């Protein structure tokens, strides 16, 4: 069977069923991070992300930005769970040709690590015909501040950080992981669900809807679209935005919108599951959203 027929997400489901997890695992595969019992007050967060030349970047991209991205995508996963990044290990496979590039990649990665106080404590170098970097990261989160995809409730308001639709124009290499915003949110509000936009707004919101067993309406007029976005489709379906998408109760949302309206934009609301997932356009017309976005296969 070809992978694109069964689909990436179905394969992940199959793998999830193979895992045999003990009681120290609070959340296994399927959220932005795994969550592991750590100490009385905190959980440990654990995630990994592989980036591959020709898929996640191209060979002419600046090597410093490639290394930066390799670490930034994992930082974004930690942010999506409300946590603080602490440690990383890095595996790099690259062609025999030159070390100049590998050193520049490492510089981009280590510089970003330093700015977020992440300890890069180990690594593995391997030969590979295409540049491949896999970062695994450990973080920590207070038990009462952990946010998952599965906590969205009917009535919640859906928010997004930043503007969407210019990932393809280079933002996927230069984005700032939303760690500061994530900590502001979990320190000051009861966030019911959160995810980072890596597959695309509709697809990632759909991950929240499925995990939380709810529906949603989003409003075309409210989607914060970058001046550089070519179309609404870019904002709805473009992957690798690495903005945070989250939901919180209407009451909490009022406080948030009042406090930080320039950063956090409401785009819709969580509704019961029967409603499905719909877009409401500028003329108030509803249409069913078929979640789509980036898939690896």
State which of positions 122-141 bind its own copies (CB under 8 A).
Answer: 122-130, 132, 134, 136, 138
Among candidate residues 162, 165, 136, 134, the one with its CA nearest the CA of residue 55: 134
Pairing of strands 215-219, 264-271: antiparallel
Is residue 92 within 8 Å of 126, Cβ to Cβ?
yes
Nearer to its own copies among residue 128 and residue 154 (C-beta) = 128
Residue 12 touching its own copies (CB under 8 A): yes
State the nearest-atom distance from the C-beta of 260 to its own copies, in Å.
30
DSSP one-letter code for 194:
E
What are the start-end ranges of the H helices in 140-219? Answer: 171-174, 179-188, 201-212
Could you give the angle at which helices 63-80 and 100-115 cross, rounded to 10 degrees? Answer: 30
Angstrom CA distances, 124 to 15, 90, 91, stand at 25, 7, 5
By CB under 8 A, what part of segment 70-89 binds its own copies? 86-87, 89
One of 13, 15, 41, 187 touching its own copies (CB under 8 A): 15
Among 62, 210, 292, 296, binds its own copies (CB under 8 A): 296
Question: Looking at beta carbons only, is 77 or 252 nearer to its own copies?
Answer: 77
Shortest distance in whole angstroms from residue 183 CB to its own copies: 18
**Which CB, 133 or 236, lies closer to its own copies?**
133
Q: Which stretch binds its own copies (CB under 8 A): 6-14, 150-158, 228-236, 250-258?
A: 6-14
Cα–Cα dist 218/259, whole Å: 22
33 is a site residue for its own copies (CB under 8 A): yes
Any contact of residue 189 with its own copies (CB under 8 A)?
no
Q: What backbone torsions phi and psi does residue 218 show, to the nearest 5 degrees? A: -120, 150
Among 13, 59, 121, 174, binds its own copies (CB under 8 A): 121
> Is 204 one of the binding residues for its own copies (CB under 8 A)?
no
Among the candidate windows 4-12, 154-162, 169-177, 258-266, which touches its own copies by CB under 8 A? Answer: 4-12
Tell me if 117 contacts its own copies by CB under 8 A.
yes
Question: Which of 42, 49, 163, 234 forms a contact with its own copies (CB under 8 A)?
Answer: 49
Q: Which of 72, 78, 79, 106 binds its own copies (CB under 8 A)?
A: 106
Candidate residues 41, 59, 99, 261; the one interacting with its own copies per rule CB under 8 A: 99
Q: In what order do the strands lie in the sheet with 25-27?
A: 25-27, 34-37, 42-52, 132-142, 84-94, 119-127
Q: How far is CA 54 from CA 1, 58, 60, 129, 172, in A?
A: 24, 5, 10, 12, 14
If the CB atoms of residues 260 and 296 are measured against its own copies, the closer one turns out to be 296
């Amino acid at each position: 069977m070809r992978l694109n027929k069964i689909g990436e997400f179905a394969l992940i489901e199959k793998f999830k069923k193979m895992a045999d997890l003990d009681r120290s695992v609070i959340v296994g595969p399927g959220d932005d991070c795994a969550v592991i019992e750590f100490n009385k007050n905190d959980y440990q967060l654990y995630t990994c992300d592989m980036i591959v030349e020709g898929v996640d970047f191209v060979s002419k991209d600046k090597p410093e930005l490639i290394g930066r991205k390799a670490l930034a995508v994992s930082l974004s996963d930690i942010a999506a769970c409300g946590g603080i990044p602490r440690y990383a290990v890095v595996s790099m496979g690259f062609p025999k040709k030159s070390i100049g590039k590998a050193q520049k990649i490492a510089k981009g990665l280590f510089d970003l690590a330093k700015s977020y106080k992440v300890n890069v404590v180990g690594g593995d170098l391997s030969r590979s015909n295409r540049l491949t970097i896999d970062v695994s990261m450990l973080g920590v989160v207070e038990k009462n501040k952990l946010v998952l995809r599965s906590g969205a409730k009917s009535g919640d308001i859906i928010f997004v950080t930043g503007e969407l639709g210019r990932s393809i124009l280079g933002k996927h290499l230069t984005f700032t992981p939303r760690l500061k915003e994530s900590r502001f949110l979990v320190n000051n509000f009861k966030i019911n669900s959160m995810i980072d936009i890596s597959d695309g707004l509709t697809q990632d919101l759909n991950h929240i809807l499925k995990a939380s067993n709810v529906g949603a309406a989003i409003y075309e007029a409210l989607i914060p679209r970058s001046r550089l976005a070519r179309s609404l489709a870019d904002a709805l379906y473009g992957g690798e935005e690495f903005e945070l998408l989250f939901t919180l109760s209407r009451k909490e949302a009022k406080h948030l919108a009042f406090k930080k309206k320039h950063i956090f934009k409401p785009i819709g609301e969580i509704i019961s599951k029967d409603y499905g997932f719909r877009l409401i356009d500028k003329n108030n017309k509803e249409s069913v959203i078929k979640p789509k976005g980036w898939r690896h296969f």
